[in-house]
Structure 1
Amino acid sequence: MRIRVFDSPHDAGIYVAALAERVIVQRPQPVLGLATGRTPIPFYEALVRLHQCGLDLSNVIAINLDEYIGLPPDHEQSYACFMKRHLFSRTNIAPENIHIPNGVASDLAQECARYDAIVRRCPIDFQILGIGVNGHIGFNEPDDLLLTKTHVVDLRPETVQSNAALFERVEDVPKQAITVGMQAILQAEEIVLMAFGQKKAHIIAETVLGEIRTEVPASVLQLHKNVTVVLDKEAARDLFAADGTLRTEP
């Protein structure tokens, strides 16, 4: 894993957008795996600015990690609406190249199979990840087993509580989601894990320095050959010793 620490999420977002630009200009039809939540917003803002400065995104294929079950795409707190607000409506990514799980599908098992077929057809070149306070990536929550395929997941209480800031009441937060599995994530050519703020410091240390275990799903990223962990100083504070060297354990 490569560790990059920035003064602010804004600066980190610019760096990640530069990494994405390299992939976008080098490939005829680049596939970006995209995440939602507050963490990737600085990246989307920077990518929009690059587009405004001339970066063509018309050939980009966008594959989102997850979606809440029960929220239609036009719901203000759906991830489809989030992506439209922060990226899709502000760039020239073609609508037919945008893929997000359908959280209101009548047959969720069939929807999961449909989404796996998309990922097989369009292997991810560049995957953006955030991380939950419990170590989840996508909505792959801590468990005895981590599922490889797209699946329906019951969200852990700490995940619901963390996401409540985006809803009027914690009771309004959906308790289930559709998420891609670990296979789609780990098969991405390049992965960028982003984390900001003091609340993420402990789980980042567990992810980077701890043992690989299913109770910290993000720790599985240690097995990937091309991962960059992009942090602000607060999220990185538990990674380094007093002399500035990387610690060997969390």
Structure 2
Amino acid sequence: MNIIKTTSEQQFNETGAGIIASLLQSNPRAILGLATGSTPVGVYEKLIELYREGSVSFKQASTYNLDEYIGLPANHPESYRWFMNEKLFNHVDILPENTHVPSGIEADPQKAAEDYARLLDEAGQIDLQLLGLGHNGHVGFNEPSDVLQGPPHIVKLDERTREANARFFNSIEEVPTHAITMGIGSILKAKQILLMAKGEDKADIIATALKGPITTKCPASFLQTHSNVVVVVDQAAGRWI
């Protein structure tokens, strides 16, 4: 596990974007696993800058997002499809048909999860999976539990997760209660995993995930079993590692 501690917001974002850009430069047809949330926003902004400078292209790449809320259509401003379009896809040369996000409005959510699992299998191995980290140790929407699922599946969101995401909605009542997410097994199949975390409030969970026991009570701890993980943190998040 390679841990990179950055000293500024700019360096944090440039480091993450640089790792992704280097992959695209060496393998233009790379398969990227992407994440949403506040952590990767600056990374995506930097990737857009690199694209506009002519340093990187997404034209031959394909992407597969970790998760999507159940009940939100793609045109809902808090859906993860909308997020990805606004924060990255609409500003680079990636082909829309090469971007994939689970369907949040399938009449049968279980079928949507199974369809996404089949899509991932057909795509082949993800070259790089980008991850953020929840305060309770979740990655994607894999919440602490007695057991963890491997393939994409439906998950009931932990109340702390819903509370953390309520800032993006008018009230917590509007935050969906369920989502479709890649499972831990799907995530661990990636050739390389890029975990990014910043802020004092992530210091304890980063230490638990990377240095504590491997347990379903902290889903991110299973990253310890992967042979190629790069962790990018700022000084505050990385104070205990």
Q: TM-score, normalised by structure 1?
A: 0.93
| Equivalent runs, 1:172-191 vs 2, <5 Å | 172-191=174-193
1:59-70 matched pairs, under 5 angstroms: 59-70=60-71
User: Residue 170 of structure 1: CA displacement?
Assistant: 1.4
Aligned to 2:101: 100
Q: Aligned partners of 1:28, 1:14: CA distance in 2, in Å?
A: 19
Write the distance in 1 (CA, Å) between the matches of 2:91 and 2:57. Answer: 12
Secondary structure in 1 matching 2:233 = strand
Q: How does 1:13-52 map to 2 (within 5 A)?
A: 13-52=13-52
- How much has 1:238 moved relative to structure 2? 2.1
Question: Any idea what the Cα deviations from partners look like across 1:15-51, whole Å, max 9, x if unmatched?
Answer: 1111111211222411000000001111101111111
Shift of 1:146: 0.6
CA–CA separation in structure 2 for the residues paired with 1:12 and 1:22? 16
> Residues of 1 paired with 2:180 and 2:8: CA distance?
31
What SS does structure 1 have at the residue aligned with 2:190?
coil
1:53-132 maps to which residues of 2 (within 5 A)? 53-54=53-54, 55-122=56-123, 123-132=125-134
Residues 124 and 184 in structure 1, CA contact (< 8 A), matched pair in contact too: no
Give the Cα–Cα distance (whole angstroms) in 1 for the partners of residues 16 and 66 of structure 2.
18
Q: What one-letter code is carried by the residue in structure 2 that aligns with 1:62?
A: T
Pair 1:6-2:6 in alignment: yes
Aligned-residue identity in percent: 43
Structure 1 unaligned spans of 5+: 240-250
- For the aligned residues, what is the CA RMSD? 0.9
Q: Secondary structure of 2:130's match?
A: strand
In the aligned structure 2, how far is the partner of 1:169 from the partner of 1:192?
32
Report the residue type matching 1:51 in the other structure: Y
- Number of residues paired by the alignment? 239
Structure 2 unaligned spans of 5+: none
**Structure 1 residue identity aligned to 2:97:** E
For the Cα contact (< 8 Å) 2:32–2:64, is it kept in 1?
yes
Q: Secondary structure in 1 aligned to 2:47?
A: helix
Q: TM-score, normalised by structure 2?
A: 0.97
In structure 2, how many angstroms separate the alpha carbons of the residues matched to 1:237 and 1:112?
37
Post-superposition Cα deviations, 1:100-159, rounded to whole Å, max 9, x if no partner, equal 000010111211111111111222101100010000000000011110011010000110
Alpha-carbon displacement from aligned partner over 1:68-98 (angstroms, at most 9, x marks no partner): 0111000011111100110000001100100
The amino acid that maps onto 1:140 is N
Contact 1:9 1:231 in 2 (8 A): no
Aligned equivalent of 2:214: 212
Which residue in the other structure is 1:138 paired with?
A: 140
Q: Which portions of structure 1, spanning 4 or more consecutive aligned residues, are displaced by more than 4 angstroms?
A: none
Looking at structure 2, the residues matched to 130 and 199 of structure 1 have their Cα atoms a distance apart, in angstroms, of: 13
Distance 2:132 2:112 in 1: 23
Q: How many angstroms apart in 2 are the aligned matches of 1:167 and 1:28?
A: 36
Q: In structure 2, give the amino acid aligned to 1:146.
A: L
Aligned ranges 1:189-228 → 2 under 5 Å? 189-228=191-230
Q: Verify the 8 A CA contact 2:28 2:58 in the aligned structure 1.
A: no
Q: Quick check: 2:194–2:231 contact (8 Å CA) kept in 1?
A: yes
Kindly provide the amino acid, as one letter, of the partner of residue 45 in structure 2: E
Return the alpha-carbon distance in structure 2 between the equivalents of residues 166 and 109 of structure 1.
Answer: 26
